[in-house]
Structure 1
Amino acid sequence: MGFPYQCLSTLGESTILCGSKGTNIYTFDIASRTLLSSWSHPFSRKGGLKVDSNSEDETGEEAPEKRAGELEAANGKHQGKNRKPKQPAPRLQEQPFVILITATSDGKHVVAVTGTDKTVWVLGHDGKGGLKQLSQRYEPVLDLPETVSDFRRAMHKRPSAIKITADGKTILCVDKFGDVYSLPLVPSTTAASEGSKASTPASTPAPQSAFTLKANEFTVHSARNLRALEDQRKALQLQAAKDTPKEAPSFEHELILGHVSMLTALAIASSGGKPYILTADRDEHIRVSRGIPQAYVIENFCLGHKAFISALCIPDSQPELLVSGGGDNELFLWNWLAGKLLYKVDLLVRVQEVVPDALKIAVTGIHSYHTERGSSVIAMCERVPALFVLEVQDNALVYVQTLNLSGNPLDAVVISNAENQPPRLAASVDPVIPAIADDSEMASDPVDQSLLLFSMEGDSWAAKPDVPLPAIETSDENLARPELDKLLYAVESLRKTNVEDADDGEHSTKGSVGQEDADSRDASEAA
């Protein structure tokens, strides 16, 4: 299955667009529709996706299916035609896909997060689309050569959101265990070396277990007892691993605030020249905290959501306002500093115009852009092939347009303020609808239907996308559809189905957009 662009970001006030696709990051010039550069995760350079098709496990023992088949044959249970041996289901090794991406306001740095290794990467941008890893030295990773593995900051828990402060010097990193960390964008060499020294006590050996094995291979002879001995050794190794203190990260970082619930969204705001940090969680809370270094001070809460919150957005030209959304049927508009709800607009009604049988929605993103009259926001929902445009007017959200797409939206950005260039809307989609043939000169060339560009026509966006960007093949193209769905569609799993369904009475989450069956995954497993 082809891998779509999962995350998008603009790079300053230019026509350069940055997007992540699998384990890679690409930059494009949307004016000329050309690929400028790319960056690949070191692990993807070392090897691609692999499928484990061996019939024996890592210990060298035969698979249970094989042993069961031999026992049945010995007992004479195989009669008539010989049944074909059951083939083991292929197991896909997890790849470090880029799950989050953002950039500084001047476009000089790109910050990305890869999920499997929970790592924050900082890339330098030369202003012309070229990306290069910073040369700060960190701990080795994945047994790669030292020249490759010196550029990472691996967090203890998988980040769920990242932002860069207004001064462009600090990264705020949120994880689903409720913690918010601050990391310097470009760490100093002195701080890194001090962090490395501080982590050395964690390398002390773990205390020896009171229980030791007295038997060994020379005193145990039967196959059954040998297997029991091996199981006991594995149990001791697991216990020793639990008793070993975790090694502290060797890079500069600071825990600045925390929730008692899973954090799902993050925004940065300012008022009266003072910075603030806005965080949202799975338990319907929006917390307004002071900025660094007083992030532990809670200024207010924005309370009113009845379902999880998954998206926060500060309108470009109205920084005193906040737009939020998640598992509720509405989008909320707040005066965030006062903790006051100003307006709610029904988004489910608009979704039902695209997906008629939808009963619930899961907002995956809210993005703001500047207009001549103020600010507008673009909202998107999980597994709904459309973008919904609303304008912020007089402390209200006014519906403007539904932009139908050829697939489920994954991310969207508006590229504006570029020199002598009209605004463009870039949307990454998971293609589910066959694309309409294009009569342009590029129609004969391979194009990427997972990255769409729209032009502004008057006060709204054109109904049809512009000429697509050239297609790019990656080593992640053979990812199976079920594996891809687990990666791309995880927001609906934040819903607390038992509690919320009781409040809704007859309405069931089986009608939710973005949920194919009743067995939703717990999002905490992804951490």
Structure 2
Amino acid sequence: MSKLTMPYQCLKQCGNLLIAARGSTIETFNLESRSLVSSWKCPSSKPLVSETSAQEEVTAVESPAPAEAAPEESVIPPVKRRKLSLSETPAEENKNWKHNNKGKNHRQAAASTGLDSPAVIALAVTSNGHHVIAVTSEDKSIRVFENSYINLKHELKQLSQRTMPKRPCGLAITDDSSTIISADKFGDVFSLPLVFQETPIPSKNETPVPATTEADSVLFTPAANHLTVHSVRNRKALENQKRQAKPKPDSSGPEFEHKLLLGHVSMLTDVALHTYNGRHYIFTADRDEHIRISRGIPQAHIIEQFCLGHTDFVSRLCIPSTRPEILISGGGDDELLVWDWENGNLLSRADLKGHVEVVCHEHGKAATDGSVDGLKIAVNQIEWIMVGGEDLVVVGYEAVPALFVFQLTAANTLQHIQRIQLAGNVLSFIVNSEGVVVSVDTVHALFSSSEQRNMAEAVDVQPLSTFVFEDQRLVPGPAFEGAEQRHEVPAEELGRLGALLYGLENLRKREGDGRDED
């Protein structure tokens, strides 16, 4: 059976390790030797129940044996059919599902990847390099891993898993590597301690014994008293009520420690932490073209400034370390914007669409005059690096098979200096002083987030491409060992991976959009 190699949707650098998320698996590579050193796979969230046993279970539950033989004239109702989920329905019903539900909001169904385990949708690493944090999509969990070495062999050891009320879409770690900042698509930003001790959950046969506290020892005071109750039965009931403890308040939220820091009235798209002149700040971007600068913990409720100038969603924020007063932002606009964020002033704009049109023209996607009708671009990543004393900014776009390198000039403008052609669409990348490591889409066709790549063309495509700096320019570097030989997936199962690999275009506002998924 023809197979395609699963691409990497997220990349992060942790010391001399490359942390790469591929579907439901996190792999680590040594950046010096470019060899695979460890792998972790998310446990399956789907019960392994055969179809026969499931039918037997339904029959046993829904059609119990009668106590007596039913008379011949009685009619026994038929056994109810178990309602199947979308993934369990026959192929013919799947084809008609979209048509029958036309006009409804099915963002949550679209976000399903079809994998047997929850997919990793975001990664973050601590500044000290000791921990890796990952978000898995379907179970809305934040997982914390420790970089563990046993007999000089590396492995990711999961320390905790916390299920958030809403699916996180952005992660950041404080400078002291002690607190996780999590942003979700409903506009809320929470803080969680990095180190978390999970409380064991009692089994079904074990009755939990609540801890006795001073509040629990206070007896319940009923509204009735001995003057208002006259019958013997009611007096006994009143005495029993007086001996009961006060009922505990109902808590429907997570049981682990988490604090709400701030909130937007729109879907959050990115979050970044920054320290400037001894003060801490939280930068947040949203779907409604806003960039908000708030104070750091514990004054995150105080808004310091807004940067307003985008005309479409803002998807990525970047703050150069050498120029902490500068903010670079991009999203669904045709330009990158450079800000004096402290005063909310727009300093410059850099054209993006023109450079993408050149790439389209070189791949035959443009008309004879070089124009591309209806071209819309979305920035999926912005990274800064200093090379040879110059500030360089590397930018990637969703469903575009190229990286673009800009130089941040002394006048705080972005000057385009290089374009890197790739064998597939850019999904994620890391940048360091040595060069760039790029995750390339091995599944979808160039410039497409839904059309499957030609099988013959996909054979020689490497999931990870490397480039090294030579005189401030990037040139091809050595390949990673083991990346192309793992996680081969049958082509017929890759149809829904577009929801995992691409999602920024869904942020564009369309008429009739409903509320987003949790």
**Aligned 8 A contact 1:494 1:522 in 2:** no
Cα 1:465–1:46 shift into 2, 3 Å: farther
2:198 and 2:275 mapped to 1: Cα distance? 31
- C-alpha deviation, 1:351, in angstroms: 0.6
SS of 1:152 mapped into structure 2: strand
Cα 1:181–1:486 shift into 2, 3 Å: same
Q: Pick from 103, 121, 128: which aligns with 1:106? A: 128
Cα 1:332–1:94 shift into 2, 3 Å: farther
2:267 and 2:51 mapped to 1: Cα distance? 32
**Aligned 8 A contact 1:386 1:408 in 2:** yes
Q: Pick from 116, 119, 133: which aligns with 2:157? A: 133
Q: Which amino acid aligns with 2:163?
A: A
- C-alpha deviation, 1:46, in angstroms: 8.1
- Name the residue aligned to 1:277: 282
- C-alpha deviation, 1:43, in angstroms: 2.0
- Name the residue aligned to 1:2: 5
Cα 1:453–1:180 shift into 2, 3 Å: same
Q: Pick from 256, 261, 270: which aligns with 1:265? A: 270
2:82 and 2:306 mapped to 1: Cα distance? 54
**Aligned 8 A contact 2:24 2:115 in 1:** no
- C-alpha deviation, 1:51, in angstroms: 11
- Name the residue aligned to 2:300: 295
- Name the residue aligned to 2:498: 485
- Name the residue aligned to 2:227: none
1:123 aligns with 2:136: no
**Aligned 8 A contact 2:272 2:317 in 1:** yes
- C-alpha deviation, 1:336, in angstroms: 1.2
1:524 aligns with 2:507: no
Structure 2 counterparts to residues 205-354 of structure 1, below 5 A? 247-354=252-359
2:376 and 2:10 mapped to 1: Cα distance? 24
2:45 and 2:298 mapped to 1: Cα distance? 38
1:22 aligns with 2:33: no
- Name the residue aligned to 2:74: none
Q: Which amino acid aligns with 1:130?
A: H
**Aligned 8 A contact 2:282 2:294 in 1:** yes
Cα 1:45–1:197 shift into 2, 3 Å: farther
Cα 1:11–1:369 shift into 2, 3 Å: same
- Name the residue aligned to 2:487: 474
Structure 2 counterparts to residues 76-115 of structure 1, below 5 A? 87-89=92-94, 92=114, 95-115=117-137
- C-alpha deviation, 1:469, in angstroms: 3.0
Q: Pick from 494, 504, 517: which aligns with 2:507? A: 494
1:189 and 1:326 mapped to 2: Cα distance? 38
- C-alpha deviation, 1:376, in angstroms: 1.4
- C-alpha deviation, 1:177, in angstroms: 0.3
1:496 and 1:89 mapped to 2: Cα distance? 27
- C-alpha deviation, 1:480, in angstroms: 2.8
- Name the residue aligned to 2:464: 451
- C-alpha deviation, 1:429, in angstroms: 1.4
SS of 2:270 mapped into structure 1: strand
Cα 1:309–1:379 shift into 2, 3 Å: same
2:261 and 2:153 mapped to 1: Cα distance? 33
SS of 1:492 mapped into structure 2: helix
2:461 and 2:308 mapped to 1: Cα distance? 42
Give the structure-2-normalised TM-score.
0.70
The CA deviation string for residues 351-381 of structure 1, in whole angstroms up to 9 with x for no partner, is 1011232622111111112222242111111
Cα 1:466–1:45 shift into 2, 3 Å: farther
Cα 1:17–1:447 shift into 2, 3 Å: farther
Cα 1:47–1:168 shift into 2, 3 Å: farther
- Name the residue aligned to 2:432: 415
Q: Pick from 409, 415, 426: which aligns with 1:398? A: 415
The CA deviation string for residues 12-59 of structure 1, in whole angstroms up to 9 with x for no partner, is 2x2x211001111111013222111111112279869x999x999x89
SS of 1:349 mapped into structure 2: helix
Identity of aligned residues (%): 40
Cα 1:55–1:336 shift into 2, 3 Å: farther
- C-alpha deviation, 1:479, in angstroms: 6.6
2:250 and 2:188 mapped to 1: Cα distance? 20
Cα 1:263–1:87 shift into 2, 3 Å: closer
SS of 1:524 mapped into structure 2: coil
SS of 1:483 mapped into structure 2: coil
- The structure whose RCO (Cα within 8 Å, separation 6+) is larger is 2
1:179 and 1:406 mapped to 2: Cα distance? 38
2:126 and 2:297 mapped to 1: Cα distance? 18
- C-alpha deviation, 1:134, in angstroms: 4.6
**Aligned 8 A contact 1:286 1:302 in 2:** yes
Q: Which amino acid aligns with 1:258?
A: G
SS of 1:133 mapped into structure 2: strand
Q: Which amino acid aligns with 1:427?
A: V
- C-alpha deviation, 1:270, in angstroms: 1.3
**Aligned 8 A contact 2:148 2:157 in 1:** no
SS of 2:182 mapped into structure 1: strand
- Name the residue aligned to 1:430: 441
Cα 1:326–1:473 shift into 2, 3 Å: same
The CA deviation string for residues 157-181 of structure 1, in whole angstroms up to 9 with x for no partner, is 0001001011111110000000000
**Aligned 8 A contact 1:494 1:523 in 2:** no
- C-alpha deviation, 1:105, in angstroms: 1.6
SS of 2:44 mapped into structure 1: helix
**Aligned 8 A contact 2:5 2:488 in 1:** no
Superposition CA RMSD, Å: 3.6
Give the structure-1-normalised TM-score.
0.69
**Aligned 8 A contact 1:10 1:107 in 2:** no
**Aligned 8 A contact 2:35 2:480 in 1:** no
**Aligned 8 A contact 1:366 1:378 in 2:** yes
1:51 and 1:156 mapped to 2: Cα distance? 32
- Name the residue aligned to 1:501: none
Q: Which amino acid aligns with 1:488?
A: L
Cα 1:457–1:257 shift into 2, 3 Å: same
2:465 and 2:349 mapped to 1: Cα distance? 30
Q: Which amino acid aligns with 2:441?
A: D
- C-alpha deviation, 1:247, in angstroms: 2.4
Cα 1:197–1:257 shift into 2, 3 Å: farther
**Aligned 8 A contact 2:38 2:156 in 1:** no
The CA deviation string for residues 433-458 of structure 1, in whole angstroms up to 9 with x for no partner, is 79xxxxxxxxxxx9871111111121
SS of 2:6 mapped into structure 1: coil
- C-alpha deviation, 1:466, in angstroms: 2.7
